Amino acid sequence: MIDFFGRMVSQPLPIHLLVGGYLLIFVSVVHLAYMGLVLGSSLLALVFDFYEFTSPDRRWRKFARYLAELPLRSFWASVLLGLVPVLTAIALYQQILFPADPGPQWPPLPHQLTTKMMSVGLVLLVPGLLLLYFYKWSFKVRRTHFLTHFLSGLAGNGLALLAYLFIISGMALALDPERWPYLSQYWQSTYDMRAWIMYSFSQISRFLTFQVSAMAITGAAILWDFYRSDWKIEDDAGYVSLVRNFGAGLALANVMALPVMMYWNLITLQYINMSVQLYNLFLIGLLILLVVSIWLFKTITNPQRKGSVWPLLGLLVFLVVYNVGEAMARDQALLDYNNVLNAAAQTKLQTLQTANASATGGAGQEKPGGAQAGQQLYTDKGCSACHSVDGSRRIGPSWKGLYGHTVTVLANGKPETVTADDAYIKESILQPGAQVVQGFPNVMPAQQLSDAEITALIDYIKTLK
Ligand code: HEC
């Protein structure tokens, strides 16, 4: 069966792991919204800061300072919303969701990678946030120490962005099991270039989705802050309208860009992009975005209109619906995909068995078509997605010349040499994780094949000299 994160497992997840999984989604949704604000506003602060330096106008400086301070008013809020959730995620992955050793295929490699990537992210995030705090503080001494001030902000923003490249990649690994073999192959430096490019595209789309939502959230937060505090006491009417229009424009432009990124993300997922549920979910997402956009547009075009916290809340609701719904729809998509494959294989096998039975005069029961049936199973059961028969490398090793040759495998992490005979191949199909071929990721799904089907596959592999 398929578990919470879309992986093949032999038993259903215990309840505390399920709760842990949902907690993780909740933590990441709240955290990502906050960090989006930090990244978006500090980046814009840098832009206006630099702009004022080259063409002095106190309005720009004031705005830059306002943007730098917007998410960093409370130090403890940043620790609570920025650092604690990443730590929680790491702890959940490592300890609760994936305890030390509950079975031979556990913890799966992607989650070890996720933990590693998130830890790297955290190591980058801590100095990044500290530098951003320094940047915010140094507006006081900006006139005399512009370079120190500006560079600290630039470095802080850069480090935090880099941290999120790792953190988002780590999350994508956990959420999109389809993608991570590419990445692990990349790390082993023996990857297939096409696979890596495909991976990169979907990876980049995820990261850009994050950045675009970061900007949209920043825009909405500027508006929220603007309406919440009494900006009317401000005597500079030009500045007041700058803040208001800039906030609304930023949120609007980025809210519009979000669907493009989301579809890009979906399209680059090989199996999951067939899911009707996911497209439906995205339609709901689009509707929410439409409502937010109309609201923002009205705000910009009608200066008399009173604002409220709704655009920000709308965006947050959207993020929650989108993330939780997507995780569930994705599980379903993988399940559906597996069911379709199994059904197709069953039909094909029956046809072959009937054909075989008539060819051999009714004695087809114990001989399911031999190598020929094996060849059919190779395509019908999806083995061909990962195994070639001509010696070229895919996600898994090629079957060419496999039979009778020696293979180096990792059994419980230790390398061993085995001969690829009937027993070895049978075990590799039924329990792929027990002996993992060296240099390949442990991603092969356990197969539900009958003995006859396995014999047919082995017969076929024997012919691939
Ligand atoms: C998602 C990709 C994927 C699919 C689908 C897949 N495999 Fe694999 N397979 C792998 C990987 C990766 C390995 C190497 C790691 C390991 O041994 O688990 C492997 C290893 C094997 C081995 C051992 C090969 C060797 O060189 O020692 C056999 C046999 C095998 N698979 C059979 C099958 C059969 C039969 C099917 C279809 C019913 C199948 N696989 C479907 C990825 C896949």
Mean pLDDT of all residues belonging to the chain: 75
CA gap 201, 195 in Å, rounded: 10
* Ligand 1 centroid, distance to 107 Cα (angstroms): 19
Q: Flag whether pLDDT at 184 surpasses 60.
A: no
Which pLDDT does position 13 carry in this prediction?
A: 55
Take residue 214 and report the two structure tokens written for it.
Answer: 């970061």
User: Does the CB atom of residue 382 touch ligand 1 within 6 A?
Assistant: yes
User: Does the CB atom of residue 152 touch ligand 1 within 6 A?
Assistant: no
Number of domains in the chain: 2
Which pLDDT does position 200 carry in this prediction?
A: 62
C-alpha separations of 343 from 1, 145, 337, 375 in Å: 15, 70, 10, 17
Take residue 356 and report the two structure tokens written for it.
Answer: 């075989």
Which pLDDT does position 361 carry in this prediction?
A: 55
Which pLDDT does position 368 carry in this prediction?
A: 45
* Of 279, 309, 332, the domain-final residue: 332
* Of 288, 310, 332, the domain-final residue: 332
User: Does the CB atom of residue 444 touch ligand 1 within 6 A?
Assistant: yes
Query: Comparing 336-350, 370-384, 444-458, which segment has the lowest mean pLDDT?
Result: 336-350
The stretch 86-104 carries a mean pLDDT of 63
Residue 278 lies in a domain: yes
Q: Let me know whether 304 and 378 are in one domain.
A: no
Better pLDDT: 123 or 222 = 123
Residue 357 lies in a domain: no
Q: Let me know whether 190 and 318 are in one domain.
A: yes
The stretch 127-147 carries a mean pLDDT of 90
CA gap 161, 124 in Å, rounded: 9
User: Does the CB atom of residue 436 touch ligand 1 within 6 A?
Assistant: yes
Which position has the token pair 């780590």?
Answer: 170
Residue 21 lies in a domain: yes
Q: Let me know whether 61 and 165 are in one domain.
A: yes
Burial (CB count <10 Å: 0-12, 13-18, 19+), residue 214 = buried
Q: Flag whether pLDDT at 170 surpasses 70.
A: yes
Cα 461–chain centre separation? 36
Which pLDDT does position 286 carry in this prediction?
A: 80
Residue range(s) defining the domain that contains residue 163: 15-332
Residue 339 lies in a domain: no
Residue 127 · residue 179 · CB < 8 Å: no
Give the residue, out of 426, 427, 444, with the most ligand 1 atoms within 8 A of its beta carbon, to mutate for a pocket test. 444
User: Does the CB atom of residue 66 touch ligand 1 within 6 A?
Assistant: no
Listed in sequence order, the residues at least 6 apart from 15 whose beta carbon sits closer than 8 Å to its beta carbon are none
Residue 407 Cα: closest atom of ligand 1: 27
From 291, 196, 300, 311, select the one nearest 248 (Cα to Cα). 300
The model carries a pTM of 0.59
Q: Let me know whether 380 and 326 are in one domain.
A: no
Q: Let me know whether 235 and 383 are in one domain.
A: no
Residues 283-316 pLDDT 10s: 887 887 788 778 777 777 776 656 566 666 777 7
Going by pLDDT thresholds of 50, 70 and 90, the confidence category of residue 125 is very high
Residues 404-457 pLDDT 10s: 888 888 776 677 888 888 888 888 888 887 788 877 777 777 777 888 888 888
* Ligand 1 centroid, distance to 7 Cα (angstroms): 16
Query: Comparing 12-21, 239-248, 398-407, which segment has the lowest mean pLDDT?
Result: 12-21
Residue 43 lies in a domain: yes
Residue 125 · residue 163 · CB < 8 Å: yes
CA gap 198, 179 in Å, rounded: 9
How many residues does this entry show for the chain?
A: 465
Take residue 123 and report the two structure tokens written for it.
Answer: 């190591």
Going by pLDDT thresholds of 50, 70 and 90, the confidence category of residue 53 is confident
To 10 degrees, the CA torsion angle through 175, 176, 182, 188?
Answer: 20
Residues 54-87 pLDDT 10s: 887 888 888 888 888 888 888 888 888 888 888 8
Residue 407 lies in a domain: yes
Residue 356 · residue 369 · CB < 8 Å: yes
Residue 103 lies in a domain: yes
User: Does the CB atom of residue 387 touch ligand 1 within 6 A?
Assistant: yes
The stretch 25-39 carries a mean pLDDT of 80
CA gap 391, 354 in Å, rounded: 32
The stretch 227-233 carries a mean pLDDT of 68
Q: Let me know whether 437 and 389 are in one domain.
A: yes
The stretch 230-255 carries a mean pLDDT of 78
Take residue 402 and report the two structure tokens written for it.
Answer: 């496999």
Q: Let me know whether 202 and 255 are in one domain.
A: yes
Top-confidence range, 135-139, 246-250, 363-367: 135-139
Residue 441 Cα: closest atom of ligand 1: 12
Q: Is the peptide bond before 107 cis (omega within 30 degrees of 0)?
A: yes
Which pLDDT does position 415 carry in this prediction?
A: 77
Q: Let me know whether 203 and 85 are in one domain.
A: yes
* Of 332, 356, 381, the domain-final residue: 332
User: Within a 10 A sphere around the Cβ of 56, how many other Cβ atoms?
Assistant: 9
Residue 385 Cα: closest atom of ligand 1: 5
Q: Let me know whether 135 and 272 are in one domain.
A: yes
User: Within a 10 A sphere around the Cβ of 55, how many other Cβ atoms?
Assistant: 8
The stretch 89-105 carries a mean pLDDT of 58
Q: Let me know whether 19 and 124 are in one domain.
A: yes
Residue 347 lies in a domain: no
Residue 395 Cα: closest atom of ligand 1: 12
From 99, 236, 72, select the one nearest 156 (Cα to Cα). 72
Q: Let me know whether 21 and 150 are in one domain.
A: yes
Which pLDDT does position 304 carry in this prediction?
A: 65
Give the residue, out of 188, 386, 388, with the most ligand 1 atoms within 8 A of its beta carbon, to mutate for a pocket test. 386
CA gap 464, 391 in Å, rounded: 10
Q: Let me know whether 405 and 328 are in one domain.
A: no
* Ligand 1 centroid, distance to 347 Cα (angstroms): 22
The stretch 267-284 carries a mean pLDDT of 69
Query: Comparing 154-158, 280-284, 417-421, which segment has the lowest mean pLDDT?
Result: 280-284
What is the percent of the chain where pLDDT is above 70?
69
